[in-house]
């Protein structure tokens, strides 16, 4: 079967390091040319409009970004989407909106490191009481059982576990439990947004959803997003002047009813411009998340089929393909994972490691020739 190539959409990134073989699309996804044009458009708007650029940012680019997120997640109302510089900013504002202290939090021990560090410090300070459900076999049901106990104020879980690629499919079950007075359900979609086909239409009135532009949204750092269900967290304690409704009195802590209640203060809009530029490009090219997944699937199959001739054949594949949604990276556990990563990097083959797990991420810019080159590089690794 012939696998199409989309390298023409990434000419600048590929030309910048032509010898590089980049298989960390689940990390710093290579930026398509459209992101360069989006970044350039922000500079031009700032130069042309100066102070008045904020009208363009908030009235046009912001609204376009909301519509793209709503389209991707099948949200009924784009006004439930808010942007920030990173998901950590949004997490701080979200937690500050819950009135109970200590906040009783249920999560897994396999969450993204920005949550892990902040949650650990909050627990240390007594801000939250943290319960972690071990990831691994039977994780989903164990988490659902604990969530149903009614003993928590906030339930936080990744749509796709960042280390293992394990997919959480119990969003609808958690949504049934959610109430404005608690518990709140927060889905970390950092490895799911634009990697998994996600339809939140049936649960948009009950769950929060966090994601960012750095990975599969192909937009780089500086743009993160949150869907906030109406009526949940109406008055975040951590707030900035951008969250004040138009016409509110100086110093008055009034909030809009939509997701702008989670806004902070002055921000750099360049990431949002890149995000909108990339999404517009994808729309013009007729490329959806399903398109990218269909492109990646045979490449993943070819990679797995060729691993028998490499040392990775001895590693534990933590997320083997099966029925249902698949992460866009393969996670291999092995004691030599970090050394393998270093050896590959010496040859300009880029993968990444979390602990003893080597991760190989696939994306739109890969083709069959890249898989053959990667297998050749893997075959040269020591440790068989």
**pLDDT tens digits, 326-349:** 889 999 999 999 999 999 999 999
What pTM does this model have? 0.95
Q: Are 51 and 103 in a shared domain?
A: yes
Q: Count the domains in the chain.
A: 2
Q: How high is the pLDDT of residue 69?
A: 98
Instruction: Give every residue of the chain whose pLDDT is below 50, as ranges.
Output: none
Q: Are 183 and 313 in a shared domain?
A: no
**Of the candidates 202, 209, 212, 227, which has an alpha carbon nearest to the alpha carbon of residue 168?**
209
Q: How high is the pLDDT of residue 128?
A: 97
Q: Are 25 and 149 in a shared domain?
A: no
Q: How high is the pLDDT of residue 240?
A: 94
Q: Are 107 and 21 in a shared domain?
A: no
> The sheet that has 352-354: what strands, in order across it?
316-317, 329-333, 357-361, 352-354
Q: How high is the pLDDT of residue 1?
A: 54
- CA separation for the pair 295, 2 (Å, rounded): 10
CATH number of the domain at 366, please. 3.90.1150.10
Q: Are 256 and 370 in a shared domain?
A: no
**Of the candidates 374, 368, 372, 371, which has an alpha carbon nearest to the alpha carbon of residue 349?**
374
- Length of the chain as a residue count: 384
Domain that holds residue 320: 7-30+288-379
Does the residue 2 lie in any domain?
A: no
């Amino acid at each position: 079967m012939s696998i199409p190539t989309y390298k023409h959409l990434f000419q600048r990134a590929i030309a910048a390091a032509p010898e590089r073989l980049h298989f960390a699309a689940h990390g710093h996804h290579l930026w398509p040319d459209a992101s360069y044009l989006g970044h350039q458009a922000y500079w031009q708007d700032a130069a042309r409009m100066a102070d008045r650029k904020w009208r363009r940012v908030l009235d046009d680019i912001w609204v376009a970004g909301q519509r793209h997120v709503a389209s991707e997640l099948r949200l009924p109302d784009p006004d439930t989407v808010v942007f920030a510089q990173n998901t950590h900013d949004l997490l701080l504002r979200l937690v500050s909106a819950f009135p109970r202290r200590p906040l009783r939090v249920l999560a897994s021990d396999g969450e993204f490191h920005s949550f892990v560090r902040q949650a650990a410090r909050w627990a240390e300070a007594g801000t939250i009481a943290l319960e972690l459900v071990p990831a691994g076999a039977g994780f989903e049901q164990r988490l659902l059982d604990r969530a149903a106990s009614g003993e928590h104020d906030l339930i936080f879980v990744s749509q796709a576990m960042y280390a293992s690629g394990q997919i959480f499919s119990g969003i609808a079950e958690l949504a049934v439990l959610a109430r404005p007075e608690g518990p709140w359900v927060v889905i970390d979609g950092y490895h799911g947004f634009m990697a998994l086909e996600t339809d939140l239409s049936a649960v948009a009135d009950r769950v929060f959803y966090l994601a960012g532009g750095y990975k599969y949204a192909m937009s780089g750092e500086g743009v993160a997003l949150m869907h906030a269900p109406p009526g949940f967290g109406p008055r975040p304690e951590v707030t900035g002047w951008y969250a004040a409704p138009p016409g509110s009195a100086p110093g008055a802590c009034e909030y809009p009813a939509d997701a702008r209640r989670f806004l902070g203060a002055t921000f750099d809009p360049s990431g949002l411009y890149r995000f909108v530029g990339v999404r517009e490009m994808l729309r013009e090219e007729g490329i959806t998340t399903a398109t990218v997944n269909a492109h990646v699937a045979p490449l993943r199959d070819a990679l797995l089929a060729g691993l028998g001739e490499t040392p990775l054949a001895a590693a534990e594949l933590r997320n083997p393909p099966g029925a249902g949604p698949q992460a866009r990276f393969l996670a291999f556990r092995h004691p030599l994972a970090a050394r393998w990563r270093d050896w590959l990097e010496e040859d300009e083959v880029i993968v990444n490691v979390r602990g003893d797990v080597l991760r190989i991420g696939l994306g739109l810019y890969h083709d069959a020739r890249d898989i053959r080159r990667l297998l050749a590089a893997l075959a040269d690794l020591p440790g068989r």
